[in-house]
Each structure stands twice: as structure tokens, then as C-alpha cells.
Amino acid sequence: MLSYYEGMAGGELVVTPVENTGFVPEEATIVGNTCLYGATGGQVFVRGKAGERFAVRNSLAEAVVEGTGDHCCEYMTGGCVVVLGKVGRNVAAGMTGGLAYILDEDDSLMPKVNKEIVKVQRVTAPVGQMQLKSLVEAHVEKTGSGKGAAILKEWDAYLPLFWQLVPPSEEDTPEACATYEATSAGQVTSFQSA
């Protein structure tokens, strides 16, 4: 098991297990603890699970992973993380920026989220839905993920199973706010709190 991309500042990393390993990729931890620690850019796609503290202090990187250990998105200040499987406890502790999308197929997520700062909501904003879907599509294209492919095939059934973790700094963004409207110049023309 490896720990990757600490201090990542750009580029793209794709991690997949070796073929015919005898395990199901989305059930196996294939990258270690503190992946994306302090990352300031780039994209990461992991066909499998990550250890503890995935995306801790992530500032701008985008990532898709198929499950994580404890403390996912801890102290995150920016970027976007998509988790297509189970997470450990204390998710989003100290998360002040960025967005996280977490698939919750068995209603087990809520007790694991540290809600001191973040708001937990369904993905209702069209821009947020597009962001989520495009990252899952990229994940499938780059890793060959069976889990991701199944989600895309039944997108309308899976979308309501995703939660979006939103810190206060992101509440008024088009990705998190379903009532956000902008002009062609990108200026807000009207806004109503959700």
C-alpha cells in the first residue's frame, strides 16, 4: 500500500490495481494514509479505497476514490473530492472550503460526518450535478472502474444517494446553491438561500 501525492501541485495521477489480483478493487485499500495532504492542484483517480486522512488539507486538487478510512477531507480548504463508497468516522472535520460528494447507499454516512462546520445536503444544484457526473465519467474513463460505470448506467437512481458536504465558504457557489443565477458575465442576478 502506498501513500501518494502529498503536496501535489498539478498534473494527473491514476491508480489502479494490477489485473487479476484476486480482489474486488472497490473493496480493497490500494493507497495509504494522508493522500493529497496539502495538495494545491491536479487530479487524482483511484480505483479502490484510500487509507485514513484522504485529502487532508487539500486546497485545490480534484479527486475520485472508491472509499476511505477515517478523517476524509479533514481541514480541507478547497478542491473537490468524490467518494464512491464507504468512509470512516470524522469526515470533514475542520473543512472550511471545497466540496465533497459522498455516495451513501446504505444510509450510514450521517453519523460519520463532523457537522461542526459543514452543511450536508443532497446534490440539487445543476452545476453541482454536472461537476459530480463529469468527475465520475473521468474516473471511469481513466481507471475502468466497474463501480463508476454502474453508477453512470443508472445515474438517475444513484444521484439521490449522493450527499454534498458544503462548508460556509461554498454555500453561495453555483455548485452548492440550487437557486444561484448568473448573467453571461458571471455576475449574480438573483439569489435565494436554500
- Specify whether the CB–CB gap between 168 and 95 falls below 8 A: no
- Which cell numbers in the block locate residue 147? 463501480
Residue-wise pLDDT tens digits, 31-67: 988 888 889 999 999 999 999 999 999 999 999 999 9
Contact 46, 65 (CB under 8 A): yes
pLDDT reported for residue 144: 96
Whether the CB-CB separation of 142 and 14 falls below 8 Å is answered with yes
State which of 12-16, 52-56, 98-102, 179-183 shows the largest mean pLDDT.
98-102
In order of their start, the domains of the chain are 9-168 (2.160.20.60)
- On the question of pLDDT at 92 being above 90, the answer is yes
Segment 157-169 shows an average pLDDT of 98
Instruction: Please state the pTM of the whole predicted model.
Output: 0.90
Rounded distance, CA 142 to CA 101, Å?
19
Contacts with 156 (C-beta within 8 Å, 6 or more apart), sequence order = none
pLDDT band with cut points at 50, 70 and 90 for residue 189: very low
Longest dimension (CA), the chain: 54
State the average pLDDT for the chain: 90
Specify burial of residue 103 (Cβ count, 10 A radius: 0-12, 13-18, 19+): buried
pLDDT at residue 194 is higher than 50: no
